[in-house]
Amino acid sequence: MAQQANRQGKVERKTKETEIAASVDLDGTGRSEIATGIGFLDHMLDQLARHSLIDLTVKAKGDLHIDFHHTTEDTGICIGEAVAKALGDRKGIRRWGEATVPMDETLTRVALDASNRPYLIWKVNFTKPKLGEMDTELFKEWFQAFAQNAGLTLHIENLYGENNHHIVESCFKGLARALRQAIEIDPRKSDAVPSTKGVLGGSL
């Protein structure tokens, strides 16, 4: 059956701490235009777009002179909201996705349900407090904000690894591959919400 039309979402968010514009096209080719002011985060978001085949644009200005927390969290919020908008009622999607991603000595497993019931399980530990100038504890904040606002039940588990860069990157690549599976339109059931309840999310 025909692919769902116009699965795009756009969000603008302005606070005293950040000013962010984000847009997604779920049926893109993985193109990205990212500028958050945080080099490592830009690199991870580029990986997310590239391996999910979601076209992603993010422009952010934040209070980086204080720290990277607000900008990191708020980009997760905005990208998540844009994905939720693009999914709409989530009709026709496959809903579940899973990926196990090796990266040299590191192996990370990601599983998700695009259920519109947000939840994060984060079993990832780092051996250093920073990657470059970025606090490693902020990565959980990004994934929490993204899952909450995209409406994902998201489980991320680093099975083993030593290099903190590899650990983080495998988390983003795993999310990308799992998300790609989950949001694909199922040609056998493209006209129905993938739930026996007929709706995703809430207490139903």
Give tens-digit pLDDT for 137-173.
999 999 999 999 999 999 999 999 999 999 999 999 9
Matching CATH number, 8-183, of 1.25.10.10, 3.30.230.40, 1.10.1380.10, 3.30.1490.20: 3.30.230.40
Q: What is the pLDDT of residue 197?
A: 55
Tell whether the model's pLDDT for residue 1 goes beyond 80. Answer: no
38 token code pair: 């945080």
How many C-beta atoms surround the C-beta of residue 75 within 10 A? 27
Which amino acid makes up residue 184? E
Q: What is the pLDDT of residue 204?
A: 36
Rounded mean pLDDT, 25-31: 98
Residue of 183 and 201 predicted with greater confidence: 183
For residues 110 and 134, give the distance between their C-alpha atoms in angstroms, rounded to a whole number.
23
Lowest-confidence pick of 1-5, 11-15, 91-95: 1-5
Tell whether the model's pLDDT for residue 104 goes beyond 60. Answer: yes
DSSP string, 138-191: HHHHHHHHHHHHHT-EEEEEEEE-S-HHHHHHHHHHHHHHHHHHHHSB-TTSTT
Task: Give the percent of the chain with pLDDT over 70.
Answer: 90
Sequence ranges of the domains in the chain: 8-183
By CB atoms closer than 10 A (0-12, 13-18, 19+), residue 96 is: middle
Q: What is the pLDDT of residue 188?
A: 79
* Mean pLDDT for the chain overall: 92
Contact status, residue 55 vs residue 49, Cβ threshold 8 Å? yes
Tell whether the model's pLDDT for residue 203 goes beyond 90. Answer: no
Tell whether the model's pLDDT for residue 2 goes beyond 80. Answer: no
